A and B are shown apart, each in its own frame.
Chain A
Amino acid sequence: MKRFFWSWFIWLNSLFVLVIANTESFLVKVPKDFPVGTSNHIDDQFPLRISLNNSNHAKETIETHIGEVNPTYIQLQHLQIDEVYQVKICWTALDPVSIDEMGWFIVPHSTSLQGTTSEEARIFIKFTITNDSYPTMKPGTMVPINVSVINCKLGVPVDLYKTIVYIIAVAVSAVLLNRKYSLYDLLRH
């Protein structure tokens, strides 16, 4: 069952990726054997972090700069093992940029990344931001990016649940209303 939802969500996600102009997304599946830290130490070395502590979704606005640090790395904290998360990267169409080379990876314990090390294994996401316009934006122009990390349940990101419920409610209402007061019949008479 879980596999079905998983494959269904990957398909759904691929559609969203294709058709949404200012949103890119990908999935992170935390392995079953990912070593969860036991110490109470708060790892705050890495400058860009998104924590899901006591939450199933979180969003941070990251300030990126055109032509400077690329790729951008963000550490994800407090993810649950054997869970799937959607990473969603949104930017405003006011800024004509492309987000490429998205992905995620695990940095093993005691391994350095951009001058930081940790005793525990860490999960990072990365993406690059490139100018996609003419004229090009000036180097150093700040581009705000919203990065969201959302837990997926039954193959659907949890922040979409209320929207899906609303869409279903509207669809059912439209069908029922059309059955009672058919638009076709109203037009005929």
Chain B
Amino acid sequence: MIVRTSLVFVVSRLVLYGLIFLAPEGQFDTSTELTLNRLVADGSEDYWNRHLWNKLLSWDAVFFIKGMTSEDGIPEFEHEYAFSPLWIRFVRLCAGNNELYDVLKVGVLLENVLFFLSSIVLYYLTRRLFSQSNRESFYAKRLAGISTDLFIFTSASGFLTGIYSEPLSFALAFSGMLCRELSVEVTIPSGLDCMWSKWPLYILSSMCFSFATLNRPNCVLLGIYYIFDLLQLAKDKKVLKAVAFPLLAGVFLFICCVYQHYILPFDTFCPQRGGWCETQLSASLPFTSVNFYNHIQDHYWNVGFLKYWAINNIPNFLLAMPNIVVLLYSTIYFSKIYPHYRLKPLIIITQALLIMLIFFAHVQIINRVSSFIPLHLWYMADRILKTSYKQDDTRPIGDDKIVKAYIYWLALWIPLQTVLFACFLPPA
């Protein structure tokens, strides 16, 4: 399996880097040369830099490279806290120096390694989830293989050629899910049970989710796992387990969030910042009515309830539509058509993410940020697996039609989005 996955991964990545290499040099947004003038002493016009590396410095990559090459790695301006200081520190640590091209190459290498590792973890997570009755079930193996392939062909692929922070969250989110799955058992009729012998694994899942959240704040939704587990255990009156497992794990995640979104920014910017600091709820505590992340998203990117719902953004909604449809259908599929108890928390997480992205965010980022949730991959993999047994698939219907259309869209979208990214063209 590893050999096959590696082969698919390497070939798909080589194709994308080939497309970037062949992309015309003159980017639409000409600011990369200004960035390079500031951060590089010389060498930005070398052959490989011009044809490949410079093209990876589009969009948010500028914020990441700034942090990675700065003297101390600490964000200079408040909005730069939106660009994972955790990922920036990780790359700085691995790079060993702050020379731009060294850092960029290490960042790209780590991006690909983490992306690959995520796909391996996803394989084992899928097998674990779908082979409860028979651990070696053929169905689970095939489902895991197809899911892994689909993950490699994620709609975020183009952005993941650069130095974005998503793969770190993919790896941590999938690892956290696997740790949790390994430490809980589904029992009949009561539902969920946590095993004391697997307590460390459960707590490890919390650490994974916490670091994933520190890296990408939308991963805070993974905390829904703990709310779900807590309610299940409380319902069964397993109070001690409810405290030792989900409550403790959830509190750890909660503390990380509070530190990142309240304590750290309050200590750094208040009271001299004014504005956001003045929404402090109590004079003795560093809590504001709006958390720091929401404040910077609103102030600098105009993110907020229905703020993106404008006529001019219709194309962005259209770009997001394939993922919206597939994510939505996956929640219906696993809750109504093929209900799967173990997937319940993930269904809620997916629904919450959809609501967040459709109503509050720049909706097209769904193509980039939704891949830390594998529900839609399992939905598509399951449909593909079921249709693979059919002889005639010339006229797929219902879900199969959706899956087929989505994969056709992926085949077109991934290369196009990679080229658009290399040319510094929207969508971001």
Contacts and interface: CB of A to CB of B under 8 A. Distances in A.
Interface stretch (A35-43, A72-80, A119-127, A161-169): A161-169
Interface stretch (B89-97, B168-176, B214-222, B406-414): B406-414
Interface stretch (B18-26, B118-126, B189-197, B235-243): B18-26
24 contacts: A15-B312, A19-B428, A21-B428, A22-B29, A61-B34, A90-B29, A90-B31, A90-B34, A91-B34, A92-B31, A92-B35, A94-B66, A134-B79, A146-B33, A166-B22, A166-B419, A170-B416, A171-B415, A171-B416, A174-B415, A187-B146, A187-B150, A187-B384, A188-B387
Contacts of B138: none
A16 B412 contact: no
Interface residues of A, number: 44
Interface string B310-343: 0011011000000000000000000000000000
Contact of A22 (B31, B269, B388): B31
Nearest to B400: A184
Contacts of A21: 59, 428
Given A93-B35, A184-B408, 6 more contacts: A19-B427, A20-B28, A92-B34, A92-B62, A93-B66, A133-B78
Contacts of B149: 187
B404 A184 contact: yes
A15 to B, nearest CB: 6
Given A92-B34, A187-B384, A166 B24 contact: yes
Contact of B315 (A15, A177, A183): A15
A23 interface: yes
A82 B408 CA distance: 43
B31 A91 contact: yes
A175 B59 CA distance: 27
A163 B423 contact: yes
A91 B31 CA distance: 5
Interface in A71-103: 88, 90-94, 96
For chain B, what secondary structure do more than half of its interface residues adopt (helix, strand, loop), or is it mixed?
helix
A171 B31 contact: no
Given A15-B315, A92-B62, A175 B412 contact: yes
A19 B34 contact: no
Contacts of B79: 96, 133-134
B395 interface: no
B271 interface: no
Given A15-B426, A159-B26, A170-B19, A178 B312 contact: no
A171 B412 contact: yes
Interface string A1-38: 00000000000001110111111000000000000000
A18 B24 contact: no
A133 B76 CA distance: 10
A171 B411 CA distance: 9
Nearest to A157: B28
Interface string B57-79: 00100110010000000000111
Interface residues of B, number: 54
Interface of A: 14-16, 18-23, 59, 61, 88, 90-94, 96, 132-135, 144, 146, 148, 159-160, 162-163, 166-167, 170-171, 173-175, 177-178, 182-184, 187-189
Given A15-B426, A22-B29, A92-B62, A174 B412 contact: yes
Nearest to B149: A187
B169 to A, nearest CB: 22
Contacts of A134: 77-79, 269, 273
Nearest to B426: A19
A146 B423 contact: no
Contacts of B63: 93
A65 to B, nearest CB: 15
B38 A90 contact: no
Contacts of A188: 384, 387-388, 393
Given A167-B420, A170-B416, A183-B411, A93 B62 contact: yes
B294 interface: no
Determine which residue in A14, A88, A146, A174 has the highest number of CB atoms from chain B within 10 A of its CB, and name it.
A174
B37 interface: yes
